Amino acid sequence: MNFQPFAAGQPGRIVLFYNPIAGPLHRHDKIDRLKSRLERQGYEVVSATTLVDLETLVDDSVQFVISAGGDGTAAAAVARIGDDTPLAIFPTGTENVYGKYLGISNSTAAFVEFLSRAMICQMDAATANGRIFLLMLGVGYDAEVVHQVAAQRKGHLTQSAYFGPILQTSWRYPFPNLQLELENEAGEVERLDGKWAFVVNVPRYAWGMSFAPQAVPWDGLLDVCILRQGGLAPGIGYLYSILRGGLNARRDVTYRRCRRIEIASDMTDVRFQTDGDPGGPLPVEIAVAPGRFPCLVPREFAENHQQLAANEAVL
């Protein structure tokens, strides 16, 4: 448990990074309001809308970076700002899984208040073929949906953009066999097969679902969930189990905690996704990046997890 008070001192220079096409159209007004509120608090706010801007602007004079957008925007920021610049997530994207997990509001007033009381935690990230992700990686059905949505995207993305690709993929997806090579904390290697695979860092998925509710994003490990049955009917069964409380009781689900994972398939063009963005075709090599970035978290989030850790220690 590594939560510490965030001692920023007097308001100084911060970088506000946002993706102009992430999330709904009205988010630009919200970003403008946030910038105005921060400036009234005494911050010097510098905007970055491209990755080149972000890399150029972040230096030792920057107190922290605000990622205003979705989960992919936050992952892109982490990849560019190094491992010692704190990141605050202002959730204005489509699903905002990381922000919801932390309990961060997308109200500008509430966000500025959160910054004044924030704690800081050194969070893990992970890499997929060298590319950083923060939340999770999916292989199979859900990745195919993500790739279809990306191919059809023509601007700002809403949740309704997923409905058509979900229906099409549900009827047509062949559920190829996946081969996984897993390396645990002790360096022991295990090989398993499955039809779906999820590599989880943060215990929350889109629409409030969770494939690995036991995952902890600061423990230096990734949680792997392997579903061994493919097809529409098993998929409905898995979804029902998640909605009823989780997959742990199912005999056709395998969980492991690992530091490195390789996933391949005999079928060509089997795809993976990271944090809701297209990742490309298999094979993919995944590795945890322990303590990759300092993240600002609400004080309530830190206190809740500290209390949970204390209760577990007593038990």
Indicate if 159 and 232 belong to the same structural domain: yes
Report CA Rg, the chain: 20
Give the C-alpha separation, 268 to 248, whole Å: 31
Residue 154 pLDDT more than 80?
no
pLDDT value for 314: 57
Same domain, 249 and 308: no
Nearest Cα residue to 19 out of 29, 27, 8, 11: 27
* Per-residue confidence (pLDDT) for residue 244, from 0 to 100: 86
- Give yes or no: residues 227 and 301 share one domain: no
Give the per-residue pLDDT at 43.
95
Number of domains into which the chain is organized: 2
What are the CA-CA distances from residue 27 to residues 82, 155, 262 (Å)? 27, 13, 38
Q: Please tell me which residue, 127 or 314, carries the higher pLDDT value.
A: 127
- Check whether residue 91 and residue 177 sit in a common domain: no
pLDDT of residue 163: 64
Report the pLDDT value the prediction gives residue 205, as an integer from 0 to 100.
Answer: 83
CA distance 166 to 142: 8
Both 185 and 272 in one domain: the answer is yes
* pLDDT for residue 164: 67
Question: Are residue 180 and residue 100 in the same domain, yes or no?
Answer: no
Mean pLDDT of all residues in 205-219: 88
Contacts 24+ apart (CB under 8 A), 158-161: 158/24, 158/94, 159/94, 159/95
> Are 87 and 221 part of one and the same domain?
no
Task: Judge if 227 and 191 occupy the same domain.
Answer: yes
Confidence band, pLDDT 50/70/90 cuts, at residue 161: low
The predicted structure's pLDDT at residue 93: 80
265 in the same domain as 206: yes
Query: 65 and 200: one domain?
Result: no
| pLDDT per residue as tens digits for the range 167-197 | 777 778 899 999 999 999 999 999 999 999 9
Q: What percent of the chain has pLDDT over 70?
A: 90
pLDDT of residue 24: 56
pLDDT the model gives residue 313? 61
Residue 96 pLDDT class (50, 70, 90 cuts): confident
CATH code, domain with 145: 2.60.200.40
Model confidence at 102: pLDDT above 70: yes
* Residue 248, both tokens: 């742990």
Nearest partner of 151 among 162, 159, 167, judged by Cα: 162
Give me the CATH number covering residue 74: 3.40.50.10330
- 250 and 140 in one domain? yes
The reply to whether 89 and 135 lie within a common domain is: no
Lowest mean pLDDT among 59-73, 185-199, 236-250: 236-250
Mean pLDDT score across all residues of the chain: 89
Domain that holds residue 14: 4-123+291-314
Q: Full-prediction pTM beyond 0.85?
A: yes
Q: What does the pLDDT look like over 30-54, one tens digit per residue?
A: 899 999 999 999 999 999 999 999 9
* pLDDT class of 64 with cuts at 50, 70, 90: very high
Helical H segments across the chain, by residue range: 27-40, 51-57, 71-81, 97-102, 108-116, 141-152, 163-172, 232-243, 299-314
pLDDT of residue 17: 96
